[in-house]
Structure 1
Amino acid sequence: MKIIETSIEGLLILEPRVFGDERGFFLESWNRKVFADLGLDLDFVQDNHSRSARGVLRGLHFQNPNPQGKLVRVINGRAWDVAVDLRSGSPTFGKWEGLELSAENKRMFWVPPGFAHGFVALEDGTDFVYKCTGYYDPAHEHSLLWNDLAVGIEWPLEGIEPQLSAKDQAGKPLSEIEAFS
C-alpha cells in the first residue's frame, strides 16, 4: 500500500498494490494489520455503497457530534472526491483537497473525522463505496454548501449542471458551520 500525503494533515491518498494479468486483477482494499502498520489503526462499523448518474453531486456531508472517518473509493466509473477541513484550530480550517477516484486508478481516500465530504459523479453508473468509523446518525448530519465561495472548491463541472438533493441544496456556508473541537 502506498500512502500519499496531501496538503491537509490527516487526509491521505492510498494506492493499493494491484496484481493483474490477462484474467483481470486482485487488490486488497482493507486489511486491519496492514493499515495499522501504516499508522491507520481504524475500527470500521459500517460499509456504504451509492450509485450515481453523471452530474450527481452528493455532499458536503458531516456529522457533528458523532463524526465519521471514511475510507472511500470508486469501483465503477469516475468521481471527483472532496474533503473540507472543519477542525477548529487547524491551520487548514476551511481548506479543501480533491482528487479523482475511478475504477481505473483504484485509488482510495482516507477522510478522518472532522471533515466535510462529498463527490460529484463524472460518469453514469458511478459506484462509490466507503467504510465508516461511526454509524450514520441522521439527527446530527449536516451539509456544508457545496459551492460556498469562502471554501472555493474547484468542481470539474464543465458543461454539467449538478444534481443535488434538497438537503444538499440547503447546505450552510462555512461561516455558519459549527466546527469540530
Structure 2
Amino acid sequence: MAEIVSQPVVKGFYIMRLLTAILFLLLSNTVFATPDTFILLRHAEKKEGPNPSLTEAGQARAERLVTLLKDYDIKHIFSSNYNRTLETAKPLSDKLGITVTHYNPRQLSALAAQLSTLKGNIVIVGHSNTTPEMVKLLSGQDVGVSESEFHKVFVVKEKSVTELSSN
C-alpha cells in the first residue's frame, strides 16, 4: 500500500522539477535577451553650418529608409541629438510610432552596452565616424563611410555584417 501512495508523490516531484526547469528556461531567455539585428547608418545629406538640417536630397533619402527597412520589424531607434541624425530617423520613427532615443556619440561603448540589453531589431543613426565604430563594436568587423557617402546601411546580425544601399 505504501508503494501505491508514493508513486503519485514521485510523479508530482518530477512534474514540479520539469515545470521549474521550463520556467527557468523562459526566464533565462528574457534575462539574457539580445537584439536580433542592428541596422546602422549615417545621417542623410546635410546642409552646411553648425548643427545643420537635411537638404531636400537628404529628406528624400530619409523617406526612402522607411521603405528599405519596412520588413525588419524595428523595435528601437537610436540617434545622436543633432538635427541631421534626428531628421534622418524621423520618417521611420513617425511611420512606426517609435520614440527616438538619443545617445552620446562620444560614448559609443556605453551605447553598445545599453543596446545589448534590448530585445528586437534596432536602428542606430550616426555619423561618418561613429557608424563604422559602432559596427566594429557590435560585430568586430571594420567598415568604412567616407564624408561623401550617405547611402550605406549596415545590417549586423550575429556578428555578421551585410551592407545595403539607400539609393
Query: Is the shorter-chain TM-score for this pair beyond 0.5, marking a shared fold?
Result: no
TM-score by length of 1: 0.27
Larger Rg: 2
